[in-house]
Amino acid sequence: MHVKRFQDAGPYEAPNHFGCHGLRLQGFEESGPKNQWIGFSQFLPGGGAGPDSTPFEKVYVVLEGEMTVIVDGAETVLYKMDSCTIPPNEVRKIENRSNDTCKMLVVIPYSPEPKVEA
């Protein structure tokens, strides 16, 4: 078992995010998870990310507050304990349109190892 205390979670900068403070709860430790890492994102009012996509899927879980997820012009508001899966290469934008901080867990697989040609 690998335990990591919240007080030991280090910050990370997520590309194309704004008004956001991210902490890495699990991942990238030698004895940590081997398939994915877990982030804790705190989005201030007006904060968000995108539009962009990644070559791998990710899962968002809203713990507090609300987050608007925009895909192909369609908007979906996620509330406390709602979650969604963003498929690989799907362009999405997220916006905290509320006056409260949105706290969200993000589950992301590790990037595939680059193929080395002999």
Confidence at residue 114, expressed as pLDDT on a 0 to 100 scale: 56
The structure tokens listed for 25 are: 């709860």
Q: pTM value? A: 0.91
15 DSSP 8-state letter = T
Confidence at residue 117, expressed as pLDDT on a 0 to 100 scale: 61
pLDDT in tens, 40-53: 999 999 999 999 99
Provide Rg for the chain, Cα atoms. Answer: 15
The structure tokens listed for 69 are: 């997820």
Q: How far apart are CA 118 and CA 78, in angstroms?
A: 47
Instruction: Find the helix or strand (DSSP H, E) in which 30 lies.
Output: none
In this model, does residue 112 exceed pLDDT 80? Answer: no
15 with 86: CB under 8 angstroms? no
Confidence band (pLDDT; 50, 70, 90) for 100? very high
Assign domain 15-97 one CATH number from 3.90.79.10, 2.40.128.110, 3.30.465.10, 2.60.120.10. 2.60.120.10
The least confident of 26-30, 48-52, 110-114 is 110-114
Domain ranges of the chain: 15-97
